[in-house]
Amino acid sequence: MILGEVRTGLLRNSLPLPRQAVVDLLSLRPGRQVVATDRPVNRTVSPDSIVGVDCTLATEPQTKARGIGTVVTHAVVVGGAVLQSSSCTRLEWADYRERKAWTHYTHRRGVVDVLGNPASAQIVDGSKKPVRQRDTLDLGAVCQRMMMLVQGRPQLDYKPGLLTQPTRLRWNAIGREGARPTVHLHIDDEVRRTVDVVAPPELLEEVSRFCEDLALHDWLYTTLGNVVEQAERDMASEADPMKLLGAALTLLARLWMPSAHVHPALRPLWADLEEVPGFSRSWRRNVSWIRDQISMSTLTTWQDARPF
């Protein structure tokens, strides 16, 4: 079983960064390589960082469960504009009761040993609690530290082209022999999402990238929806929304490419999400509405400026 979390937001920069600038931005560990992919959209990933943990695991119903090991975390920049921080760890049930030397854990990157006898369902339910229990494993805190580290880098001008709200997506993946991959997305509130994935054991390591892709597109979908709502409020109050709509179109519209960087065996999961909630239909409708508003505004401005 794997637990993970992804946080997504806009880089604090006025324009999308070019490829080399993103590589410099994510060069967080000297001597470790940044990985960049240019097609069909630029996606750049920082080197992994390893965080040691020794803490209680949240469970529901509550029972004794201790986790000792390491969490893997990294940052991702998509299209030079959107920043994600992603953390995950694989849970493995241990048959010992006392903590071993740290070399036992550091040699197994991204693995947390579970001490105690909690059922996997108890840990999954505990990880979904809206309020984290004190002193329990907190992947969100690991993500937030990575997010702040990148957003504080000197390569940024700290003038975001669009005011947006970050989102956080918590996920869990269960390995099941011979299972058809399935996904269930739950929108907890304006910021939090919870995702359950079931996949064959050999695909579990690929679920992290699928969840990063899902978190990206959920953030794009949510942000563009908020832009449309704000523009409608501006138009109702006779304020000009064209600057807002232009920024959204420039920064976001080109980034919509669901499953482009996902393992082929997990791409069918997007087919389920296109049925409910139907991401791409709503996305295309909102992009078309924004383009129509900008076109009508441009035509009106041209007609008003035309000499008679």
Interior angle at CA 283, CA 277 and CA 287, nearest 5: 160
Question: Does the pLDDT value for residue 125 go beyond 90?
Answer: yes
The CB density around residue 221, as the number of other CB atoms within 10 Å, is 19
pLDDT digits (tens, 9 = 90+) for 72-94: 999 999 999 999 999 999 999 99
Mean pLDDT lowest for which of 4-13, 190-199, 291-300?
291-300
Task: Encode pLDDT of 93-112 as tens digits.
Answer: 999 988 999 999 999 999 99
Cα 292 to Cα 286: distance, rounded to the nearest angstrom: 10
Supply the pLDDT for residue 131: 80
For residue range 145-202, what is the model confidence (pLDDT) as tens digits?
999 999 999 999 999 989 999 999 999 999 999 889 999 999 999 999 999 999 999 9
CB-side neighbour CA atoms (13 Å) of 4: 32
Q: Is pLDDT at 286 greater than 90 in this prediction?
A: yes
CA 28, 32, 38, 44 dihedral sign is: negative
Here the tokens at position 162 are: 């669009």
pTM: 0.93
* Residue position matching structure tokens 């960049």: 36
What is the 3-state secondary structure of the chain? Answer: CEEEEEEEEECCCCCCCCHHHHHHHCCCCCCCCCEEECCCCCEEECCCEEEEEEEECCCCCCCCEEEEEEEEEEEEEECCCEEEEEEEEEEEECCCCCCCCHHHHHCCCCEEEEEECCCHHHHHHHHCCCCCCCCECCHHHHHHHHHHHHHCCCCCCCCCCCCCCCEEEEEEEEECCCCCCEEEEEECCCCEEEEEEEECHHHHHHHHHHHHHHHHHHHHHHHHHHHHHHHHHHHHCCCCCHHHHHHHHHHHHHHCCCCCCCCHHHCHHHHHHHHCCCHHHHHHHHHHHHHHHHHHHHHHHHHHHCCC
Q: Which residues touch 187 (CB under 8 Å, ≥6 apart)?
A: 193
| pLDDT range class, residue 222, cuts 50, 70, 90 | very high
In the chain, the amino acid numbered 218 is D
Q: Is the pLDDT confidence value at 230 over 70?
A: yes
The confidence band for 243, taking pLDDT boundaries of 50, 70 and 90, is very high
Kindly give, in sequence order, each residue whose CB lies less than 8 Å from that of residue 154, ignoring residues fewer than 6 positions away: none
Distance CA 126, CA 128 (A): 5
How far is 10 from 15, CA to CA, in rounded Å? 11
Q: How confident is the model at residue 289 (pLDDT cuts 50, 70, 90)?
A: very high
**Mean per-residue pLDDT of the chain:** 92
Res 7: pLDDT: 98
